[in-house]
Amino acid sequence: MDLTGLSLTTITLFIPMIGLAILLFMNGETQRDNIKWVAFGTSIVAFVASVLMWVNFDPSVAELQMVQRNTWAEVSLGESVINISYFVGVDGISLLLVLLTTFIMPIAILGSFGSNIFEERGREKLYYIFMMLLEWSMIGVFVIHDLIIFYVFWEVTLVPMYFLIGIWGAEERIYAAVKFFLYTMAGSILMLIAILYVGNKSGTFSTYSAAGDVGVIEMVQTYEGEGSYWDPVPDEEEDAGFLLSSVESFLFLGFLVAFAIKVPIFPFHSWLPDAHVQAPTAGSVILAGVLLKMGTYGIVRFNLTMFPEAAVAWAPTIAFLGVVGIIYGAWVSYAQDNVKKLVAYSSVSHLGFVVLGIFALNSQGLQGATLQMVNHGISTGGLFLIVGMLYERWHTKEMADYGGIWKMMPAFGAISLVISLSSMGLPGLNGFIGEFTILMGSLGSEYLGFAFTLFATLGVIMAAVYLLKMFQHVFMGEHDNPLSDETRYKLQWNEIAAFIPILIMIFWIGIQPIVFFNMLDMSVDSIVALFLP
Amino acid sequence: MFETPTIADFLAQSNLASTLPGTLLVLWTLILVLVDLFLPEERQRWTPILACVGLGISFVANLFVYSPAESEQIALYGMFVADAFTGFLNVVILVATLIAILMSWDYLNRADIHRGEYYVLALLSSAGAMFMVGANDLIIIFVALELLSIPLYILAAFRSIKNDGSDLALKSEESGMKYFILGAFSSAFLVFGSALVYGATGTTNIPEIFSLASAIAGSVSSAAFYLIIGAALLFVGLGFKVAVVPFHMWTPDVYEGAPTPVTAFMSVTAKIGGFAAMLRLLVSGLAALVIVDGEPVAWQATVSLVAVLTLVLGNFVAISQRNLKRMLAYSSIAHAGYILVAVAATGTTGVADAATQSALVYMLAYMFTNLGAFAVVMSIEREDGSGGNIEDITGLARSRPLMAMAMTIFMLSLTGIPLTAGFVGKFMVFASAVQAGLFGLAIIGVLTSVVSAFYYMRVVVNMYLRDSSGDLQPALETSAVRWAINIALAGTVIFGVFYPLATNLVSSVSIT
């Protein structure tokens, strides 16, 4: 094997695989205590590697960095031969999401230390193996720039998540796991057809140009001739027929449906509450923290760059669905009595902002959306951790069963307050930065009207309503459901360790967002350049 | 009229050397019959070992005949063609037979029906499949098909030799009988179709049919009519063998009743033989019917329609099956549908080679995965035939974790999840369908594989997500079947992870 082109991206990508290999050779019974440390250690090493990537990253360059590209296989399609290549590299958007992944993983693993799911269901080794597999495939989704290999990683994320929900989940876990698997697979498999069409048409599966080979995006951008790249025959009544009859529009939808189900954008969200509520705590944290971002990332990375005309044509529709998601998610969230379901629906609402920001199709909207992906990962991940810790102690998810917890666990209450406030977008914390930039973007968008911003702003207010409701019911009032074991009122060391990095990030992004915006500047500009009039 | 050929002339024309993989296997089998007669009772296990040696010999011969540098060789007076297509499928058939024999050794002992003839019949059947994939003449197709099928009829009824009146013996007898009657029926279609094609073109040789067909198909004459009817009948006859809708009715009963290793074996080899002949006929022989003036015609639409019916029916009916063997039977119908997608794609100009290659990769992936799944089902079956229902694998992850893991990977591969061989096969097939412009077919193909995910995942759900309340099952299987599972698992994973392996193996295949 040729290792000369080995890049830091590859190393980061395969660190979880090394951890997985070590875990495979450990004995699940006799070395039970060491297993979690191996998994945790691996995730920390992966985090360090991704921080090294950040150190090496040059934010003044728009192109992919730390690139590695090796031809992996050749597919002969008739007379032409198409290369499938192992093509990794990061730009600002990818890097930020890789950092998010490697940041969330150790927290999720710490959060599952000593969890009572292992007493009930056992199989601790298998659990951490799936965690490693999940981390590997999620990092892969964010760094791969070959459509086929991207699809491989995209589908592989399903398998560990399916098992995490199905084996270690709550009562309705089987229903939730099967629904999650089928729903997301149904969406993504149509993307395979679209990918095959793209490859067949352009003769390559690489999206970006590298090493002299022209990628799909460059072909689309540099196309000069009649019509567009995907629809070379000029359409006389272009505006009228474009949405429903052009090839580009179909390809756009082929990709979009896969991503929309993952996000989830409004009418495709019904798998999410089930999966979130039934998943074990770490599963929910990863699901909210990273997995949903794969959808929004995919839209930015593939839909916008490869099908810019269709993106413009569809922008109002999708942004409308995003706004509906904001309002609807918030509304349904407010109506929940189940605290985990409340947080789950809040994801629908928050991701609606991200979708709105993306389809503003300008620099602020896109930067805000990308940063908001990270913010949501941190805040909602944190909220799920809180819910998980409550459940470990009281074994209920009903809000009515809680109350007055702040009195008994003052530190925990304070932490929860900060995370809730960050999620509802209090200025000075991270959520505000993302939502504010998105709203700026949508207000200044060429393609969206004023009403989009107006209704989205309503969503910010509603977020405060449902999150404060949750906080009030759980943490304030009388404490009438005391624990039999007094010592459980104390936070455990691993719980504190999981919260500290979350709090640091909440304040860091809130106070010094410029660090992160700098990282995104050039990458976002190169995408937005497609939509400048 | 009849000249006596000289020996040298005979050797040159017959070119027996290039048929060696098949002929050696037949010869070995004939010797094995005699050896088996004289083997003492306590040395019974020699027969399967010798059968495996025969497979090995055939494999080595195959390596020599089909070294990649060689181009195609014609043998047996033009009736047999040894090209990359034949060579590749020969290997697939040999590996399938090896896995089936490993499974059988275990099964026959457990069921107490160990007879040496079993292995003889299995080897004959696989020799038939090997001749079928190299058939270059309608007559050879027929003869090879019978050589493939007749031993399978007997094998399907093999359980009934222990005539204890048990339900299993009866079902096995029913299975063999049903398979025989419908098999004979479909052979009649094949022969009648051959006769009509012969009537229209005056030859049974496939390349000659190819050179004549375009003139005949373009003309308005009774010959053109006979050619089309004949081709349709050939398709029907082969359609029975590979079990595509609407010629699939026999499949569930036969698959359920036959001894499990036989089911596994025939679900793979009979399909490979049938599809190979179908591809040869459509691509090498009757291309003129498929493509007129560079445009695909009604033929492609017909195959597409059959493919859609097969995909939809196979996948949807599989959902309601409780018996694992029956579920795998319907799933194998569905998989025939995916291969048919590739067959349909051969009908577009310039795609024929890519589509043929994709069909071959699919068959390779299907062979490993399906045999593996059947091997797992077999090892959890109990002697009285119970234990093959979907409830019976509940909690398998706890009682036998390695087997549950293998089964999970087989199920993921049958679904077509990446990093398994099944994905590579599906990917290739859909790529050729997209390239052929058959978008509707490709979309139905991927959507039905979501449906298939439902019933394959149910197996995984039962193994991992539910816990059995009863006692853990003791391991019944011997190491032979564990080897069968290991080989199948290795194939599924290696060809799945190392994607280029499969594509490189078939890259030189071209039967146009």
> From the CA of A372, how many Å to the nearest CA of chain B?
30
CA–CA gap between residue A195 and residue B469 (Å, rounded): 46
Under an 8 A CB cutoff, do B457 and A181 touch? yes
Q: Where are the domains of chain A?
A: 8-482+489-531
Higher pLDDT, B166 or A97: A97
Under an 8 A CB cutoff, do B430 and A196 touch? yes
Under an 8 A CB cutoff, do B446 and A78 touch? no
- Residue A95 above 70 pLDDT? yes
Q: How confident is the model at residue A41 (pLDDT cuts 50, 70, 90)?
A: very high
Higher pLDDT, A242 or A150: A150
Phi, psi of A67 (to 5 degrees): -85, 140
Structure tokens at B319: 């959902």
Phi, psi of A422 (to 5 degrees): -65, -40
State residue A140's pLDDT score: 94
Under an 8 A CB cutoff, do B464 and A76 touch? no
A197 touching chain B per CB within 8 A: yes
B390 touching chain A per CB within 8 A: no
pLDDT tens-digit series, residues A443-459: 988 888 889 999 999 88
CA–CA gap between residue A281 and residue A163 (Å, rounded): 14
Nearest to A78 among B435, B446, B453 (CB): B435
- Return all residues near B67 (Cβ < 8 A) that are at least 6 apart: none
Under an 8 A CB cutoff, do B442 and A84 touch? no
State residue A65's pLDDT score: 86
A515 C-beta neighbours (distance < 10 Å), count: 11
Q: DSSP string spanning A330-366?
A: HHHHHT-SBHHHHHHHHHHHHHHHHHHHHTT-SHHHH
Nearest to A190 among B443, B458, B465 (CB): B443
Q: A196 to chain B: which residues are within 8 Å by CB?
A: 430-431, 434-435, 442
Under an 8 A CB cutoff, do B430 and A199 touch? no
Under an 8 A CB cutoff, do B354 and A76 touch? yes
Question: Cis peptide leading into B246, omega within 30 of 0?
Answer: yes
Which segments of A444-511 does DSSP mark as H helices, in order? 450-475, 493-511
> From the CA of B446, how many Å to the nearest CA of chain A?
6
A177 touching chain B per CB within 8 A: yes
Q: Which residues pair with B321 in a beta bridge?
A: none
B502 touching chain A per CB within 8 A: no
pLDDT tens-digit series, residues A314-345: 999 999 999 999 999 999 999 998 999 999 99
Q: A173 to chain B: which residues are within 8 Å by CB?
A: 465
DSSP-assigned letter for residue B43: G
Q: CB burial class (10 A; 0-12, 13-18, 19+) of residue A494?
A: middle
Under an 8 A CB cutoff, do B354 and A78 touch? yes
- Residue A2 above 50 pLDDT? no
Q: State the amino acid at position B133 in one-letter form.
A: V
Q: What is the DSSP pairing of strand B291-292 with strand B295-296?
A: antiparallel
Q: How confident is the model at residue A3 (pLDDT cuts 50, 70, 90)?
A: very low
Q: How confident is the model at residue B128 (pLDDT cuts 50, 70, 90)?
A: very high
Which sign does the torsion angle of CA A484, A486, A492, A498 carry?
A: positive
- Cα–Cα distances (Å) from B130 to A396, B98, B276, B484, in that order, read 64, 14, 10, 21
Closest CA to B93 of B140, B130, B65, B63: B130
A172 touching chain B per CB within 8 A: no
B353 touching chain A per CB within 8 A: yes
- Residue A382 above 90 pLDDT? yes
Under an 8 A CB cutoff, do A152 and B447 touch? no
Higher pLDDT, B139 or B74: B139
Nearest to B465 among A72, A153, A174 (CB): A174
Find the mean pLDDT for residues A390-411.
85
> From the CA of A157, how many Å to the nearest CA of chain B?
10
Under an 8 A CB cutoff, do A190 and B431 touch? no
Long-range contacts of A12-15 (CB under 8 A, 24+ apart): A12/A46, A12/A49, A12/A50, A12/A53, A12/A98, A12/A102, A12/A139, A12/A143, A13/A88, A13/A136, A13/A139, A13/A140, A13/A143, A14/A136, A15/A42, A15/A45, A15/A46, A15/A49
Closest CA to B338 of B373, B300, B306: B306
Find the mean pLDDT for residues B262-268.
93
> From the CA of B398, how many Å to the nearest CA of chain A?
9
Under an 8 A CB cutoff, do B461 and A174 touch? yes
DSSP-assigned letter for residue B498: S
B394 touching chain A per CB within 8 A: no
Q: A148 to chain B: which residues are within 8 Å by CB?
A: 427
Range from A98-102, A262-266, A388-392 that averages highest in pLDDT: A98-102
Question: Cis peptide leading into A264, omega within 30 of 0?
Answer: yes
Q: Do B141 and B284 form a contact (C-beta atoms < 8 A)?
A: no
Exposed e or buried b per residue across A161-181, where buried means at least 16 C-beta atoms within 10 angstroms of its C-beta? bbbbbbbbbeeebbebbbbbb
3-state SS, B110-168, equals HHCCCCCHHHHHHHHHHHHHHHHHCECEHHHHHHHHHHHHHHHHHHHCHHHHCCCCCHH
Which sign does the torsion angle of CA A39, A43, A49, A53 carry?
A: positive
Closest CA to A271 of A359, A177, A395: A177
Q: Where are the domains of chain B?
A: 295-512
A269 touching chain B per CB within 8 A: no
150-169 of A, contacting B, C-beta below 8 A: 151-153, 155-156, 158-159, 162-163, 166-167
CA–CA gap between residue A111 and residue A286 (Å, rounded): 11
- The rounded percent of chain B whose pLDDT value lies above 90 is 46
Under an 8 A CB cutoff, do B435 and A174 touch? no
Under an 8 A CB cutoff, do A181 and B464 touch? no
A189 touching chain B per CB within 8 A: yes
> From the CA of B200, how many Å to the nearest CA of chain A?
32
B225 C-beta neighbours (distance < 10 Å), count: 13
State residue B179's pLDDT score: 93
Find the mean pLDDT for residues A286-291.
91
* Minimal-distance CA residue of chain B relative to A250: B439
Under an 8 A CB cutoff, do A152 and B423 touch? yes
Under an 8 A CB cutoff, do A182 and B457 touch? yes
Structure tokens at B97: 């037979």
A454 touching chain B per CB within 8 A: no
State residue A223's pLDDT score: 80
Find the mean pLDDT for residues A279-289.
91
pLDDT tens-digit series, residues B309-354: 999 999 999 999 888 988 998 999 999 999 999 999 988 877 888 8
Within 13 Å and on the Cβ side, how many CA atoms surround B227?
29
Structure tokens at B390: 């979907």
Q: How confident is the model at residue B37 (pLDDT cuts 50, 70, 90)?
A: confident
Q: How confident is the model at residue B64 (pLDDT cuts 50, 70, 90)?
A: confident
Q: How confident is the model at residue A1 (pLDDT cuts 50, 70, 90)?
A: very low
> From the CA of B464, how many Å to the nearest CA of chain A?
7
pLDDT tens-digit series, residues B371-430: 999 999 988 887 776 777 888 888 888 888 888 999 999 999 999 998 899 999 999 999
Under an 8 A CB cutoff, do A78 and B449 touch? no
> From the CA of A190, how many Å to the nearest CA of chain B?
7
A394 C-beta neighbours (distance < 10 Å), count: 16
Q: What is the pTM of this model?
A: 0.91
Under an 8 A CB cutoff, do A189 and B447 touch? yes
Higher pLDDT, A27 or B443: B443
- Return all residues near A167 (Cβ < 8 A) that are at least 6 apart: A121, A123, A126, A127, A173, B464, B465
> From the CA of B234, how many Å to the nearest CA of chain A?
27
Nearest to B500 among A73, A162, A166 (CB): A73
A271 touching chain B per CB within 8 A: no
Q: Do A342 and A403 form a contact (C-beta atoms < 8 A)?
A: no
B465 touching chain A per CB within 8 A: yes
Give the 3-state secondary structure percentages of chain B, helix then strand then coil, rounded to 5. 75, 5, 20
- Return all residues near B68 (Cβ < 8 A) that are at least 6 apart: B84, B508
Q: How confident is the model at residue B297 (pLDDT cuts 50, 70, 90)?
A: low
- Return all residues near B181 (Cβ < 8 A) that are at least 6 apart: none
Which segments of A215-307 does DSSP mark as H helices, in order? 216-222, 238-245, 247-262, 271-278, 281-286, 292-298, 305-306
Q: How confident is the model at residue A211 (pLDDT cuts 50, 70, 90)?
A: confident
B83 touching chain A per CB within 8 A: no
State residue A326's pLDDT score: 93
The conformational region for residue A66 under phi > 0 = left, psi -120 to 50 = alpha, else beta, is left
CA–CA gap between residue B156 and residue B259 (Å, rounded): 6
Lowest mean pLDDT among A91-100, A406-415, A488-497, B379-388: B379-388
State residue B1's pLDDT score: 52
pLDDT tens-digit series, residues A215-250: 888 888 888 777 778 777 655 555 555 666 688 888
B122 touching chain A per CB within 8 A: no
CA–CA gap between residue A346 and residue A328 (Å, rounded): 10
Phi, psi of B296 (to 5 degrees): -65, 140
* Mutate: best of B351, B399, B435, partner A, most A CBs <10 A: B435
Per DSSP, the three-state class of A291 is helix
State residue A235's pLDDT score: 56
pLDDT tens-digit series, residues B212-226: 887 777 777 788 888
Size of the A and B interface in Cβ pairs below 8 Å:
97
> From the CA of B352, how many Å to the nearest CA of chain A?
7
pLDDT tens-digit series, residues A161-194: 999 998 888 888 889 999 999 989 988 888 999 9
Q: B503 to chain A: which residues are within 8 Å by CB?
A: 73-76
State the DSSP H helix or E strand holding residue B40, giving kind and residue range, or none if neither. Answer: none
State the DSSP H helix or E strand holding residue B41, giving kind and residue range, or none if neither. Answer: none
Q: Do A255 and A296 form a contact (C-beta atoms < 8 A)?
A: no
Under an 8 A CB cutoff, do A159 and B427 touch? no
Q: What is the DSSP pairing of strand A65-77 with strand A80-90?
A: antiparallel
Structure tokens at B57: 């010999």
Q: DSSP string spanning A11-39?
A: HHHHHHHHHHHHHHTS-TTTTHHHHHHHH
* Mutate: best of B390, B427, B454, partner A, most A CBs <10 A: B427
State residue A351's pLDDT score: 93
Q: State the amino acid at position A263 in one-letter form.
A: V
Nearest to B435 among A73, A77, A158 (CB): A77
pLDDT, averaged across chain A: 87
Q: Do B327 and B251 form a contact (C-beta atoms < 8 A)?
A: no
CA–CA gap between residue A349 and residue A358 (Å, rounded): 15
